[in-house]
Amino acid sequence: MPDERVAKEHVPGTVPETRPEETGSGGDDVAALQAERDELFDRLQRLAAEFDNFRKRNARENAALTERANERLVKELIPILDDLGRALEAAAEHEEAKLEDGVRLVHRSLSDLLTKEGLAEIETEGRFDPHVHEALLSQPSDEEEGSVIEVVQKGYKLGDKVLRPARVVVAGPPVHEA
Q: Domain-by-domain residue ranges, the chain?
A: 18-117, 120-178
109-133 in b/e form (b: 16+ CB < 10 A) is bbeeebeeeeeeebebeeebeeebb
Q: For position 134, what pLDDT does the model report?
A: 93
Q: What CA–CA distance (Å, rounded) separates 139 from 173?
A: 8
Topology of domain 120-178, CATH: Nucleotide Exchange Factor Grpe; Chain A, domain 2 (2.30.22)
Mean pLDDT by 10 residues, the chain (178 residues): 49 54 67 94 96 96 85 78 77 74 84 86 90 92 89 89 92 74
